[in-house]
């Protein structure tokens, strides 16, 4: 029976159906088997998968299939990060419910993923917007609340005075409302926070446990985000009053150079400081301007430094000098104490500020090179702050001290009078999880006038998002206006009460989905702990670098918080992390806004899923950027055709010559093919195992196919088993990359097994041994020829043959041979003079 031409569309659906029916990717926890958990970051169901997804999931699929063939019990799940703003916007546009749009998109995207032949255990699929899912995070919220890991506090939100509504960060464009272009303000509202800062130290310390499995770059980003800094809190008194202001500084050694003070616009003392000052209103105006600034811009390095004098002074505790107090736009209330002792000579921001407002600059740290010469840094020569280490000057008793040592000495000195203490500060802030949005998981809290904020009793979960809500055209959440949702009875006193209408940040859902996959259909509990014990940690996590900080940090925090609330036993969720590179087109990021998107569906229609997968895995190593290329996918398709034709051509021979018993090739050509076959196994295995170098693994298979083309006619009659064995190997090791075509050809060859369930082959080291090796011959270190000698020939024999070479004789003529060095299988060097 002829197998005909390669038509991917004829075979891909067929194999997807077979895999599904056989349930070969459906796994259960089985402590008798070694497990492997491969996870790709679950997508937001925007409607269409893009090439970035295809890349992410193809990488994961090769790992999953490879590890499964290696004998592991592999879990490979998929789901949907399904809450979020785009669904709300689509609902406003279509006058429908965000659920409709979301579920339709999920169906469409699931179908697209299925067309790519990924080895998911679809029984474990989760969609985070389903009550069966978010029910459990409402439970976690309550448990965290019980444990004091959740609290409520006043915090600024983006407020649009035009629309009279809260805006998500994504709805603020350059400080303006996306809808009405009004200037966005910051307004304080009561919101819910997760106490992630309680875990700051553990989150930081445990990064050291991940240093083998995570990219260094991501570890660094996490460290910086947590931002632990050692410093001191110093106390300054306000002139003419008994008030005190604490500052946080990492440079107590520079205190003699503190010439003014900067406080945040939100600093609680501002009103007291400006009391009685004739320009108090100007200060108030400045304060409100700064408070309304975009929070992100305010923290940026390139922010134009601005400030205003408050009319008040404080006193430098060591110099007695009066320091004017300013409100400055770059001082953040959320960091340290919200007040800074400004040392313009040694801090760049303070230097810029002092220059602008003509404030005094006092050098107190002398650069070592100047100090050696007996000079002192002159302010007049400074065009920027001197922030490096040095020797203290103009610092009273501390003069001449190295500044590092002076840090401790000065704090100890101040501590004596209660004016200073060593502290640790983190950049990390508690996580605000309140969103004033509709399409998110309701926060399970009830407000009662008599009892205050009361947790929803567990047996009332889930608090479902109403299905009859209409998205509002002004973009506001419909929840606060829905009596049926809002009105309820207080669980404590039974009186009339109101439900919380804020929903949870969508990062909440993505912080634990990898746990739910382990027991996704459990209706009685978030999961059975034994299953988590078996599957966790995720062995290989794969996703985009854009999630290097927040998502990974939140998921790590959740793991620890769920451990401490008794839900799991793990400290860290993800053992190995791979961040795949971006997919580029014409050197730029492939993106809708650039209009350079290549639609995976169109590629599958044209070239098939296998060619699409093959190209994307072949074009670059997974962590590098990948440039989309039409010729590239064309080439992938041609290679698959070539493989197909090879099998087609040899079909009759191969069906009879079963490779299983083949170990003893007769001819040279057969021997060499066998060597190539085992070399391929060795290389592919090594390349996938080490750093997932799929591109070189695929190149190795291509070489094997080339070799097969070269010898097939010669071996067709004489050694069909050699051909059969090599082809079986090519199909087996290529199958994780291009599973459909490999399964089809495997079947064509008469196998009644499935490649998906085949064991990964092991290479036979003896097949790699060469009969002959090439040895370089040198005279006095200069290459004079090359010799083919038997592999591992005795040194004396090799030396003898080398000495007989014409070119060698010529070069040692008239000289005495002093020494002959033989490096087995490599080199003969003859020393003569």
Tell me which residues touch ligand ANZ (CB under 6 A): 229, 248-251, 254, 264, 330-332, 335-336, 338, 340-341, 343, 346-347, 425
Decide whether 331 or 734 has the Cβ nearer to ligand ANZ.
Answer: 331
Residues that contact Zn ion, how many (by CB under 5 A) = 7
Positive or negative: CA dihedral 96, 100, 102, 108? negative
CA-to-CA distance for 512 and 536, rounded, in angstroms? Answer: 12
* Closest distance to ligand ANZ from the beta carbon of 304 (Å): 15
Decide whether 6 or 353 has the Cβ nearer to ligand ANZ.
Answer: 353
- When CB distances are held under 5 to 8 angstroms depending on the partner's kind, the choice from ligand ANZ, Zn ion, none that residue 744 binds is none
- When CB distances are held under 5 to 8 angstroms depending on the partner's kind, the choice from Zn ion, ligand ANZ, none that residue 721 binds is none
Regarding 491 and contact with Zn ion (CB under 5 A), the answer is no
Sheet holding 626-627, edge to edge: 588-589, 583-585, 626-627
- In the region spanning residues 282 to 301, those forming contacts with Zn ion, defined by CB under 5 A, are none
CA-to-CA distance for 782 and 682, rounded, in angstroms? Answer: 35
CA-to-CA distance for 550 and 701, rounded, in angstroms? Answer: 39
Three-state secondary-structure class, residue 769: coil
Decide whether 164 or 224 has the Cβ nearer to ligand ANZ.
Answer: 224
- When CB distances are held under 5 to 8 angstroms depending on the partner's kind, the choice from Zn ion, ligand ANZ, none that residue 343 binds is ligand ANZ
Among 303, 493, 759, 817, binds Zn ion (CB under 5 A): 493
CA-to-CA distance for 414 and 401, rounded, in angstroms? Answer: 17
- When CB distances are held under 5 to 8 angstroms depending on the partner's kind, the choice from ligand ANZ, Zn ion, none that residue 490 binds is Zn ion
- When CB distances are held under 5 to 8 angstroms depending on the partner's kind, the choice from Zn ion, ligand ANZ, none that residue 450 binds is Zn ion
Positive or negative: CA dihedral 59, 63, 69, 73? negative
Are 270 and 287 contacting, i.e. CB atoms less than 8 angstroms apart? yes
* Closest distance to ligand ANZ from the beta carbon of 583 (Å): 35
CA-to-CA distance for 246 and 453, rounded, in angstroms? Answer: 33
Decide whether 76 or 346 has the Cβ nearer to ligand ANZ.
Answer: 346
Decide whether 301 or 806 has the Cβ nearer to ligand ANZ.
Answer: 301
CA-to-CA distance for 728 and 647, rounded, in angstroms? Answer: 10
* Closest distance to ligand ANZ from the beta carbon of 381 (Å): 18
Decide whether 139 or 342 has the Cβ nearer to ligand ANZ.
Answer: 342
- In the region spanning residues 494 to 533, those forming contacts with Zn ion, defined by CB under 5 A, are 495
- When CB distances are held under 5 to 8 angstroms depending on the partner's kind, the choice from ligand ANZ, Zn ion, none that residue 755 binds is none
* Closest distance to ligand ANZ from the beta carbon of 689 (Å): 41
* Closest distance to ligand ANZ from the beta carbon of 157 (Å): 20
Decide whether 497 or 731 has the Cβ nearer to Zn ion.
Answer: 497
CA-to-CA distance for 43 and 483, rounded, in angstroms? Answer: 34
Regarding 492 and contact with Zn ion (CB under 5 A), the answer is yes
Are 384 and 348 contacting, i.e. CB atoms less than 8 angstroms apart? yes
Closest residue by Cα to residue 135 from 516, 437, 559 = 516
Decide whether 251 or 435 has the Cβ nearer to ligand ANZ.
Answer: 251
Decide whether 458 or 689 has the Cβ nearer to Zn ion.
Answer: 458
DSSP 118-134: ----GGG--BTTSHHHH
- When CB distances are held under 5 to 8 angstroms depending on the partner's kind, the choice from Zn ion, ligand ANZ, none that residue 554 binds is none
- When CB distances are held under 5 to 8 angstroms depending on the partner's kind, the choice from ligand ANZ, Zn ion, none that residue 254 binds is ligand ANZ
Decide whether 176 or 332 has the Cβ nearer to ligand ANZ.
Answer: 332
Decide whether 75 or 341 has the Cβ nearer to ligand ANZ.
Answer: 341
Q: Which helix (H) or strand (E) holds 786?
A: strand 782-790
Regarding 456 and contact with Zn ion (CB under 5 A), the answer is no
Question: What are the backbone angles phi and psi of residue 39, rounded to the nearest 5°?
Answer: -135, 135
Q: Which helix (H) or strand (E) holds 585?
A: strand 583-585
Decide whether 342 or 448 has the Cβ nearer to Zn ion.
Answer: 448
Are 544 and 56 contacting, i.e. CB atoms less than 8 angstroms apart? yes
Decide whether 353 or 517 has the Cβ nearer to ligand ANZ.
Answer: 353
Regarding 490 and contact with Zn ion (CB under 5 A), the answer is yes
Decide whether 290 or 614 has the Cβ nearer to ligand ANZ.
Answer: 290
CA-to-CA distance for 228 and 217, rounded, in angstroms? Answer: 17
Strand partners, 773: 789
Decide whether 377 or 443 has the Cβ nearer to ligand ANZ.
Answer: 377
DSSP 278-292: TTHHHHHHHHHHHHT
- When CB distances are held under 5 to 8 angstroms depending on the partner's kind, the choice from ligand ANZ, Zn ion, none that residue 448 binds is Zn ion
Decide whether 254 or 805 has the Cβ nearer to ligand ANZ.
Answer: 254
Regarding 451 and contact with Zn ion (CB under 5 A), the answer is yes
Helices marked H in 227-311:
270-274, 280-291, 295-299
- When CB distances are held under 5 to 8 angstroms depending on the partner's kind, the choice from Zn ion, ligand ANZ, none that residue 250 binds is ligand ANZ
- For residue 100, the number of C-alpha atoms closer than 13 Å in the C-beta half-sphere is 14
- When CB distances are held under 5 to 8 angstroms depending on the partner's kind, the choice from ligand ANZ, Zn ion, none that residue 341 binds is ligand ANZ
Scanning 57-65, 185-193, 484-492, 796-804 for contacts with Zn ion by CB under 5 A, the matching segment is 484-492
Among 163, 194, 441, 448, binds Zn ion (CB under 5 A): 448
- When CB distances are held under 5 to 8 angstroms depending on the partner's kind, the choice from Zn ion, ligand ANZ, none that residue 38 binds is none
* Closest distance to ligand ANZ from the beta carbon of 295 (Å): 13
* Closest distance to Zn ion from the beta carbon of 499 (Å): 13
Residues 6+ apart with CB under 8 A from 785: 776, 777, 805, 807, 808
- When CB distances are held under 5 to 8 angstroms depending on the partner's kind, the choice from Zn ion, ligand ANZ, none that residue 229 binds is ligand ANZ
Closest residue by Cα to residue 433 from 182, 203, 46, 134 = 134
Regarding 488 and contact with Zn ion (CB under 5 A), the answer is no
- When CB distances are held under 5 to 8 angstroms depending on the partner's kind, the choice from Zn ion, ligand ANZ, none that residue 574 binds is none
Which DSSP letter does residue 536 get? P
Scanning 489-497, 500-508, 594-602, 789-797 for contacts with Zn ion by CB under 5 A, the matching segment is 489-497
* Closest distance to ligand ANZ from the beta carbon of 197 (Å): 15
Regarding 450 and contact with Zn ion (CB under 5 A), the answer is yes
CA-to-CA distance for 635 and 496, rounded, in angstroms? Answer: 69
Closest residue by Cα to residue 328 from 310, 355, 346 = 310
Positive or negative: CA dihedral 82, 84, 88, 94? negative
Decide whether 136 or 248 has the Cβ nearer to ligand ANZ.
Answer: 248
Three-state secondary-structure class, residue 601: helix
* Closest distance to ligand ANZ from the beta carbon of 227 (Å): 6
CA-to-CA distance for 346 and 331, rounded, in angstroms? Answer: 17
Helices marked H in 236-386:
270-274, 280-291, 295-299, 348-357, 368-372
* Closest distance to Zn ion from the beta carbon of 491 (Å): 8
CA-to-CA distance for 610 and 826, rounded, in angstroms? Answer: 42
Are 358 and 267 contacting, i.e. CB atoms less than 8 angstroms apart? no
* Closest distance to Zn ion from the beta carbon of 494 (Å): 7
CA-to-CA distance for 238 and 324, rounded, in angstroms? Answer: 10
Regarding 783 and contact with Zn ion (CB under 5 A), the answer is no
Positive or negative: CA dihedral 149, 155, 156, 162? positive
* Closest distance to ligand ANZ from the beta carbon of 548 (Å): 20
β-strands 365-366, 391-392 pairing: antiparallel
Positive or negative: CA dihedral 107, 110, 116, 119? negative
- When CB distances are held under 5 to 8 angstroms depending on the partner's kind, the choice from ligand ANZ, Zn ion, none that residue 259 binds is none
β-strands 185-194, 431-432 pairing: antiparallel
- When CB distances are held under 5 to 8 angstroms depending on the partner's kind, the choice from ligand ANZ, Zn ion, none that residue 493 binds is Zn ion
Contacts with Zn ion by CB under 5 A lie at 448, 450-451, 490, 492-493, 495
């Amino acid at each position: 029976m002829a197998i005909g031409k390669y038509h991917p569309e004829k075979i891909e659906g067929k194999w997807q159906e077979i895999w599904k029916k056989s349930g070969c990717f459906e796994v259960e926890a089985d402590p008798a088997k070694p497990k492997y958990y491969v996870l790709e970051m679950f997508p937001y169901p925007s409607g269409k998968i893009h090439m970035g997804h295809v890349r992410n999931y193809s990488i994961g699929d090769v790992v999953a299939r490879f590890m499964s063939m290696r004998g592991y019990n592999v879990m490979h799940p998929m789901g949907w990060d399904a809450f979020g703003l785009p669904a709300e916007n689509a609902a406003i546009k279509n006058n429908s419910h965000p659920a409709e749009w979301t579920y339709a998109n999920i169906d469409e995207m699931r179908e697209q993923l299925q067309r790519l032949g990924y080895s998911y255990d679809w029984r474990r699929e989760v969609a985070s917007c389903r009550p069966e899912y978010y029910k459990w995070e409402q439970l976690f919220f309550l448990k965290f609340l019980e444990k004091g890991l959740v609290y409520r506090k006043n915090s600024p939100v983006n407020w649009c005075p035009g629309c009279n509504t809260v805006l998500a960060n994504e709805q603020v464009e350059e400080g303006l409302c996306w809808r009405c272009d009004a200037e966005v303000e910051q307004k304080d509202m009561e919101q819910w926070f997760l106490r992630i800062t309680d875990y700051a130290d553990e989150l930081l310390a445990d990064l050291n446990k991940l240093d083998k499995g995570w990219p260094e770059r991501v570890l660094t980003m996490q460290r910086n985000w947590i931002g632990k800094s050692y410093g001191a809190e110093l106390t300054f008194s306000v002139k003419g009053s008994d008030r005190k202001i604490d500052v946080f500084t990492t440079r107590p050694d520079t205190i003699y150079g503190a010439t003014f003070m900067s406080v945040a616009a939100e600093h609680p003392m501002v009103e007291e400081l400006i009391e009685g000052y004739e320009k108090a209103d100007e200060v108030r105006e400045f304060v409100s301007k700064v408070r309304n600034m975009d929070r992100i811009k305010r923290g940026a390095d390139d922010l134009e430094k601005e400030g205003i004098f408050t009319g008040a002074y404080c006193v430098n505790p060591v110099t007695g000098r009066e320091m004017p107090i300013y409100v400055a736009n770059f001082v953040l209330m959320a960091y340290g104490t919200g007040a800074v002792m400004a040392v313009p000579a040694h801090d760049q921001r303070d230097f810029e500020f002092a220059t602008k407002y003509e404030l005094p600059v006092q050098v107190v740290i002398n650069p070592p090179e100047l100090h050696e010469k007996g000079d002192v840094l002159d302010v007049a020569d400074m065009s920027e702050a001197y922030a490096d280490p040095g020797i203290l000057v103009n610092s009273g008793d501390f003069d001449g001290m190295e500044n590092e040592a002076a840090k401790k000495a000065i704090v100890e000195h101040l501590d004596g009078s209660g004016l200073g203490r060593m502290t640790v500060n983190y950049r990390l802030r508690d996580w605000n999880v309140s969103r004033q949005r509709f399409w998110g998981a309701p926060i399970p809290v009830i407000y009662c006038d008599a009892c205050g904020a009361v947790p929803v009793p567990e047996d009332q979960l889930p608090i479902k998002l109403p299905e009859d809500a209409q998205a509002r055209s002004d973009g506001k959440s419909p929840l606060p206006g829905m009596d049926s949702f809002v009105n309820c009875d207080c669980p404590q006193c039974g009186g009339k009460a109101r439900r919380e209408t804020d929903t949870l940040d969508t990062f909440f859902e993505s912080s634990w989905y990898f746990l739910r996959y382990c027991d996704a259909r459990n209706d009685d509990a978030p999961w059975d702990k034994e299953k988590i014990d078996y599957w966790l940690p995720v062995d290989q996590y794969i996703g985009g670098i854009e999630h290097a900080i927040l998502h990974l940090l939140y998921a790590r925090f959740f793991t620890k918080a769920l451990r401490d609330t008794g839900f799991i036993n793990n400290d860290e969720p993800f053992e190995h992390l791979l961040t795949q590179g971006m997919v580029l087109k014409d050197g730029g990021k492939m993106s809708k806004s650039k209009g350079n998107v290549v639609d995976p569906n169109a590629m599958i229609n044209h070239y098939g899923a296998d060619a699409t997968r093959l190209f994307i895995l072949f074009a670059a190593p997974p962590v590098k950027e990948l440039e989309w290329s039409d010729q590239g996918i064309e080439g992938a398709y041609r290679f698959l055709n070539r493989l197909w034709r090879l099998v087609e051509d040899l079909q009759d021979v191969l069906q009879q010559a079963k490779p299983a018993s083949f170990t003893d090739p007769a001819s040279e050509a057969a021997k060499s093919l066998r060597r190539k076959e085992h070399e391929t196994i060795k290389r592919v295995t090594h390349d996938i195992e080490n750093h997932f170098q799929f591109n070189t693994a695929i190149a190795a298979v291509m070489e094997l196919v080339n070799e097969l083309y070269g010898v097939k006619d010669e071996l067709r009659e004489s050694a069909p088993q050699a051909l059969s064995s090599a082809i079986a190997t090519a199909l087996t090791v290529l199958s994780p990359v291009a599973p459909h075509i490999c399964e089809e050809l495997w079947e064509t060859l008469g196998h009644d097994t499935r490649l998906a369930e085949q064991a990964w082959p092991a290479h036979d080291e003896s097949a790699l041994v060469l009969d002959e090796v090439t040895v370089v011959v040198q005279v006095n270190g200069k290459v004079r020829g090359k010799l083919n000698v038997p592999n591992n020939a005795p040194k004396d024999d090799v030396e003898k043959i080398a000495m007989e070479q014409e070119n060698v004789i010529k070069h040692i003529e008239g000289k005495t041979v002093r020494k002959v060095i033989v490096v087995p299988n490599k080199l003969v060097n003859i020393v003569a003079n």
